[in-house]
Amino acid sequence: MKIDRIDIGIHPINWVGEDVLEHGDHYTAEEVMADISRLGLSGVEMSRKFPKEPEALGRLLKKHGLRLVSQWKSVLLSDIAARDRELAAYREHARFLKRMGCEVISTAEIGGSQHWDPRRSANEKEVLRLTDRQWRVFAEGLNLAGEIARGLGMKLAYHHHGGTVVERPEEIDRLMELTDPELVYLLYDTGHAYYGGNDPLALLHRHGGRVAYVHLKDVRIAVLEEGRRQGWDFVTCIRRGVFTVPGDGGLPFPDIFRALLEQGYRGWAMLEGEQDPAEHPPFEYARDSLAYIERTVNKIKGGSK
């Protein structure tokens, strides 16, 4: 599916959870790819259920008429002691994605996260925000990772993400300010933007020139508000159904698509729901969301408000 210069793809996270592992764990790679192919889409991100070996993955993608667009890469670049190890791992990951024909590397810092920082214990409750020194180290490390990506003809697309040290408006702004715009781009995620306290449209207007990749995710605003009152962490919010596909939540997607089109965004925009597939059948939700996107864009092009 293509909208002007925007290619619409989909993330297998609609079927198989990445942060909540019990979500859709029964699905196989074959089942997920077959559903995506039936939707008429060609671009997918990596799933934990997909083959890790390039030849096997390539054969399966080809069988279903699909191509790999990107894969998440966690980094711990806010820790100077981990830099050499992290950059070596990043280079290996980048080479794999390059081999698969990808152009962007979804990248996110896990230092300070109560969920993903390997240095923290299982009973942590809050994100540990970066100090000024850690921000400097982090930005320097990201620029170096961006050089690795650029050297392979790719782009580092930084994924601002709930439950991490780059989710709030001031954190995204600081990341953009401290990093080289020729080396570090932005993965604009509508759902994570709102979750982190951003106005998704304002974020897009501020940093649209740095956007190299897009995740289209909606938010059940009432669920998020309840989560804030109850003090739920990010993973609990997912389990309670905070996210859904575009058109099923409360985000202003007509305005978001209008802005993407007016800014001339060119690249992939991936449909994401990240909800329990047992309660929200992924094929049906994706099908209905794609129809919603098509209607929305047709209204924009037709001049409707």
Please answer whether residues 14 and 286 qualify as being in contact, where contact means their C-beta atoms are separated by less than 8 angstroms. Answer: yes
Task: Render pLDDT for 165-208 as a digit per residue (tens, 0 to 9).
Answer: 999 999 999 999 999 999 999 999 999 999 999 999 999 999 99
What predicted TM-score, i.e. pTM, was given to this entire model? 0.96
Q: What is the spatial distance between Cα 227 and Cα 234, in angstroms, rounded to a whole number?
A: 9
The fourth-level CATH superfamily of domain 2-301 is Divalent-metal-dependent TIM barrel enzymes (3.20.20.150)
> What does each C-alpha distance from 261 to 57, 203, 266, 267 come to in angstroms?
33, 15, 9, 11
**Helix (H/G/I), strand (E/B), else coil: 10:** strand
Question: Is the alpha carbon torsion for 93, 165, 277, 22 positive or negative?
Answer: positive
Q: What is the spatial distance between Cα 207 and Cα 204, in angstroms, rounded to a whole number?
A: 5
Task: Render pLDDT for 97-150 as a digit per residue (tens, 0 to 9).
Answer: 999 999 999 999 999 999 999 999 888 889 999 999 999 999 999 999 999 999
| Both tokens assigned to 233 | 């962490």
Residue ranges per structural domain of the chain: 2-301
**For residue 305, pLDDT beyond 70:** no
